[in-house]
């Protein structure tokens, strides 16, 4: 199971929206994952597999505890899927390809 955190500045609005959209994409891809939303400081120290955030927050969230990737828009499933596919490809995790 993949541990994914979604992060925004305060950990309430944007990260929650990103979490919901990420959960949708995870289901579409057939990946077993647990997705949790949080603020940047909690995300930075989080021990997980992946943190998804905005481009502006990548440097703030990056840590040796996890891989950090950014999405272009918190409600853009294409961007979320691209980042999840890249993560899975890089870690040998199988998933349903688009259209399968």
What whole-number distance in Å separates Cα of residue 19 and Cα of residue 37?
Answer: 6
Query: What pLDDT does 13 receive?
Result: 83
Query: What pLDDT does 10 receive?
Result: 63
| Residue among 18, 20, 28, 85 at smallest CA distance from 52 | 18
What are the structural domain ranges in the chain? 2-91
Q: For the domain made up of 2-91, give the CATH fold.
A: Rossmann fold (3.40.50)
Virtual torsion, Cα 37, 84, 73, 99, nearest 10 deg: -120
End-to-end Cα, the chain, rounded Å: 21
What whole-number distance in Å separates Cα of residue 9 and Cα of residue 99?
Answer: 34
What whole-number distance in Å separates Cα of residue 16 and Cα of residue 20?
Answer: 6
Per-residue pLDDT of the chain (100 residues; tens, 9 = 90+): 999 999 987 656 889 999 999 999 999 999 999 999 999 999 999 999 999 999 999 999 999 999 999 999 888 999 999 999 999 999 999 999 887 6
């Amino acid at each position: 199971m993949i541990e994914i955190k979604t992060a925004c500045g305060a950990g309430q609005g944007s990260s929650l929206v990103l979490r919901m959209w990420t959960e949708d994409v995870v289901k579409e891809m057939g990946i077993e994952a647990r997705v949790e939303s949080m603020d940047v400081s909690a995300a930075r120290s989080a021990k997980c597999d992946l943190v998804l955030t905005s481009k502006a927050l990548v440097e703030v969230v990056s840590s040796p505890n996890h891989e950090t990737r950014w999405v272009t828009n918190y409600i853009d499933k294409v961007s979320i899927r691209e980042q999840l596919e890249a993560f899975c490809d890089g870690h040998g995790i199988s998933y349903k390809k688009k259209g399968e």
